[in-house]
Structure 1
Amino acid sequence: MKRIYLVGFMGCGKSAIGKRLHTLTDIPFYDMDHVIADQMQLTIPEIFNQYGEPYFRQLETEFLRSFPEEFCIVATGGGVAVKEENIQLMRESGMVFFLNASFRDIWRRISTDVNRPIVQQSSRMELETLYKKRKPKYLQASHFTVETTGKSLTEIAEYIIFQIERYQ
């Protein structure tokens, strides 16, 4: 078994579903943003403010290249699939699940989140444009698309477990 990557736009539920998968399977879970923040000893907004988004995207690539845990669940950052290199690294080292949520659901979850630099710097329209721009990349990166609208965390996690067991 390789890594299980959860990709999708910010607020689609990657971290929450990753935690639920961990609870149901006991497979180690890592939130890429939290690992990077811990390594840098800065919050994600501080990394963006001090170094900029391109630097942060490079940290994501370094994570994918060098993270030592081979058998684990990884909730990726919302922009990780923007880079072709990251898509290739994820697809080669694990199973990639795109958590597909409607923008309306995502907006409801992220609109007031002060820990998301891109949300704080963007209007709803700009975020929806970014969502539409990134969605093809998530689809390109993924082995499986998981529809999340109207489903509980457990239903989503059980579907992912089913796919993992089916294709091991």
Structure 2
Amino acid sequence: MKKVYLVGYMGCGKSAIGKRLSFATKMPFYDMDNEIVKMTGLTIPQIFEMYGEEYFREMETSFLRSFRDESCIIATGGGVAARRENREIMRETGLVFFLNAPFRDIWRRISTDRNRPIVQRSTRNDLEKLFNERKPFYLQSAHFKVETENRSLRDIVDYIAFQIGRLKGTGR
């Protein structure tokens, strides 16, 4: 098996779960947004402001095409699954886990986050609409749907680690 991708809406727990999953599986962890920031020397808000969202989305696709050829865990950006090419790349190069969190939990986590350009320029209703628009893409990209509601980070990590271990021997 190569990569493990965590997909889902912003604030669903991809980074928090990815870090813990890395510890549990001894696989390196990368946060796609952080890697793009390192590559460009710009924050995500700066990239959006200077070059626009489409440019950022192209950077995500480029990242998926060319990022390290190693077994690792990648927390993707919240919009990465919206592109068909991205969904195909992830499904072909690894296992994809969709972290399905209810919007009310997500809203509680993201509503005051200044590092999310989309949150800063959108209303709660706009964000909930985007959440509902993206959900089918997460489902299309996922090998596994992971319900996060009323589950501890440890339970979620244990479940994902179990699935990774179960599939390691199948050549996935």
Equivalent in the alignment of 1:68: 68
Tell me the CA shift for residue 10 of structure 1.
0.1
SS in 2 for 1:167: helix
- Aligned pairs for 1:152-163 (under 5 A) are 152-163=152-163
Structure 1's unaligned 5+ residue stretches are none
| Letter aligned with residue 105 of structure 1 | D
Equivalent in the alignment of 1:27: 27
Q: Find out whether 1:51 has 2:51 as its counterpart.
A: yes
**Aligned length, in residue pairs:** 168
> d(CA) in 2 for partners of 1:113 and 1:121?
12
> d(CA) in 2 for partners of 1:19 and 1:38?
18
Tell me the CA shift for residue 2 of structure 1.
1.2
Tell me the CA shift for residue 68 of structure 1.
1.5
Paired residues of 2:2 and 2:69 also in contact (CA < 8 A):
no
| Letter aligned with residue 151 of structure 1 | R
Equivalent in the alignment of 1:40: 40
- Aligned pairs for 1:76-91 (under 5 A) are 76-91=76-91
What's the TM-score, normalizing by structure 2? 0.96
Percent of matched pairs sharing the same residue: 65
Tell me the CA shift for residue 129 of structure 1.
0.1
Aligned-pair Cα RMSD in Å: 0.6
Runs of 4+ in 1 over 2 A off after TM superposition: none
Tell me the CA shift for residue 9 of structure 1.
0.1
Structure 2's unaligned 5+ residue stretches are none
What's the TM-score, normalizing by structure 1? 0.98
Equivalent in the alignment of 2:137: 137
Tell me the CA shift for residue 69 of structure 1.
3.6
